[in-house]
Amino acid sequence: MALTFALRDADTADIDTPLLGVLLPTGSELPTDLRALDERLGGALTRALTRGDFRGARDETLHFDGAASGAGRVLLVGLGTPTEPSASLRRGASLLARQAHKMGVGTAAVVAPGTDGEAIESIAVGLSMGAWEYIDLKTPPPEAERKKPLARVTIVAEDGRAAKDSLARGEAIAAGYDVARRLAQMPGNLCTPDLLAKTATDIGRRHRLKVTVLGRREMERQKMGSFLCVAQGTPQDPKLVTMEYRKGKRGAAPIVLVGKGLCFDTGGISIKPADRMEFMKFDMCGAAGVLGAMEAIARLRLKVNVIGMFGATTNMPSGIAVKPGDVVISHLGKSIEIINTDAEGRLVLADLLSYARRFKPAAVIDAATLTGACVIALGHTATGVLGTDQPLIDEVLSAAKKAAEPGWQLPLWDDYKELIKSDVADIKNTGGRAGGTITAAMFLREFAEEYPWVHLDIAGTAYSETDLVAIPRGPTG
């Protein structure tokens, strides 16, 4: 159930709510907006701050019982010393929502004294991130043990035009994250190429986007030998989906977003070890990200032309699966020697990047859970960023930082080209263990020569096996 929001311009002392969350940075004195509330609590807030019981450190929380009227409980949440205000507000709001969820209060209010209108967007996104859960496949607990999920939050702020717009932006972005996380968390037997394609047509119908779905037949006609060889071992119909959102200048070159949509990656004939293979249901997170982005962009009514595009299939071993040593001809015409059938994402993306040329893109940005090497290099904190156009890379890096999803650039120098030369074909699909994220991107570059291009390796950041505080364990969206 999506979280709903209201804006309310009132003194925090007068807000009738089971839980009032107060987001405070390090070293705050009692903000003036909280004076009346503090009085009602017999000065408890002031005492906590002056004694140092609460210092506003990042992720610090302090719980107070409320007074007879107004807020039933007050929870102070520390923001730390924010270097990126939007990111720390998201984190604090997420933590608040998670606490509210655990308490089972059902509704809450939140205030972040001294922040501007822009902050409402970050707070709404953070609250949604924290309240999100995927419980469709669990039997609900008995009525008596059931806690109310957090369903509605009042943001205490001036209720003007700017605040309303900021909240609407937050809700749109949160809806995008919701789409991406839900699809990511669904198991591979439910989240199939068919379902991803259906999700695209649903989004398209709701927002009047032109959605096109190619299946195996159509891709054969397009001579997509690279994508198709990955889908060779599965009976499921692979899908190449494009979603066209055109609210920018008529005829202006679009931005094309490309996602890897492996609904499950067993590795194929080069099969993966059994241990932790279940995480490979997340190998469609690039596609989920594109679907989420299209949902958010459409709700934001951005004045841009954007094409969302993803390739969905399942990498399976079988008697007719592609095997190491096979050579396939890609949509672009380049021949590819398959060294390892587990390096399948780049094979899908190669044909998508080549297909993207038909849209005459101003820029192409792809997202893919592409290499285990990226997890080794950057851990679960930063997305690997590589590309052919430095100004575009810089734009992506700065947007990522603002969204609390930092990226880190890796080189894409010609020197690495040697590693993916083949004895029998134009190029081979792996370059060995060394520099695995870079050689994967070098492979993609062969198919992305005609436009400015940025590649995001999200293998480490698409989902987390541990609790990240701002985001619980699981898909990050």
Q: Which is nearer to Mn ion, 342 or 351 (CB)?
A: 342
The verdict on whether 223 is a catalytic residue reads no
Q: Is 171 in the site for Mn ion (CB under 5 A)?
A: no
Beta-carbon contacts of residue 125 (< 8 Å; ≥ 6 apart) = 90, 93, 170, 173, 174, 177
Dig out the tokens for 302 from the structure: 């951005």
Question: Which candidate in 272, 334, 357, 417 is catalytic?
Answer: 272
Q: Which residue type sits at 165?
A: D
Choosing from 66, 113, 215, 372, the residue that interacts with ligand BES (CB under 6 A) is 372
Least Å distance, CB 369 to Mn ion, is 9
Q: Judged by CB under 5 A, which stretch of 2-10, 114-122, 280-288, 319-327 contacts Zn ion?
A: 280-288
Residue 111 parent element (H or E): strand 105-111
Q: Is 337 in the site for ligand BES (CB under 6 A)?
A: no
Q: Judged by CB under 6 A, which stretch of 14-22, 155-163, 335-343, 404-412 contacts ligand BES?
A: 335-343
Find where tokens 């120098």 sit.
413
Q: Which of ligand BES, Zn ion, Mn ion, none is residue 436 near (CB under 5 to 8 Å by kind)?
A: ligand BES
Q: Judged by CB under 5 A, which stretch of 169-177, 292-300, 343-351, 398-406 contacts Zn ion?
A: 343-351
Q: Count the neighbouring beta carbons within 10 Å of the beta carbon of residue 333.
A: 10
Q: Which is nearer to Mn ion, 94 or 315 (CB)?
A: 315
Least Å distance, CB 432 to ligand BES, is 8
Q: Which residues on adjacent β-strands are paired with residue 213?
A: 241
Q: Is 475 in the site for ligand BES (CB under 6 A)?
A: no
The verdict on whether 272 is a catalytic residue reads yes
* Burial grade of 113 (CB within 10 A; 0-12, 13-18, 19 or more): middle
Dig out the tokens for 172 from the structure: 């749109």
Q: Which of Mn ion, ligand BES, Zn ion, none is residue 372 near (CB under 5 to 8 Å by kind)?
A: ligand BES
Residues 408-447 within binding reach of ligand BES (CB under 6 A)? 430, 436
Q: Which is nearer to ligand BES, 82 or 372 (CB)?
A: 372
The alpha helices in 356-452, defined as continuous H runs, are: 372-378, 390-402, 436-445
Least Å distance, CB 342 to Mn ion, is 4
Task: Provide the pairing of β-strand 474-475 with 427-428.
Answer: unpaired
Which string of x and - marks every residue 326-345 that binds Mn ion (by CB under 5 A)?
A: ----------------x-x-
Q: Which residue type sits at 282?
A: F
Residues 173-192 within binding reach of Mn ion (CB under 5 A)? none
Residues 152-181 within binding reach of ligand BES (CB under 6 A)? none
What is the C-alpha to C-alpha distance for residues 292 and 305, in angstroms, rounded to an integer?
Answer: 16
Choosing from 121, 265, 351, 457, the residue that interacts with Zn ion (CB under 5 A) is 265
Name the DSSP class of 68.
S
By beta carbon distance, the residue nearest ligand BES is 372
Choosing from 170, 204, 268, 345, the residue that interacts with Zn ion (CB under 5 A) is 345
Least Å distance, CB 116 to ligand BES, is 38
Q: Judged by CB under 6 A, which stretch of 79-87, 183-191, 296-304, 372-380 contacts ligand BES?
A: 372-380
Q: Which residues on adjacent β-strands are paired with residue 194?
A: none
Find where tokens 């989906």 sit.
241
Choosing from 127, 343, 386, 396, the residue that interacts with ligand BES (CB under 6 A) is 343
Phi, psi angles (nearest 5°) of residue 45: -65, -45
Convert 395-430 to b/e letters by CB count within 10 Å (16 or more is b).
ebbeebeebbbbbebbebeeebbebbeeeebbbbbb
Q: Which residue type sits at 145?
A: E
Q: Which of Mn ion, ligand BES, Zn ion, none is residue 371 near (CB under 5 to 8 Å by kind)?
A: ligand BES
Q: Which is nearer to ligand BES, 106 or 408 (CB)?
A: 408
Beta-carbon contacts of residue 233 (< 8 Å; ≥ 6 apart) = 268, 269, 315, 316, 317, 318, 320, 321, 322
Phi, psi angles (nearest 5°) of residue 64: -120, 145
The alpha helices in 186-284, defined as continuous H runs, are: 193-207, 216-221, 225-230
Catalytic machinery residues? 272, 346
- Note the residues at the interface with Zn ion (CB under 5 A): 262, 265, 283, 345
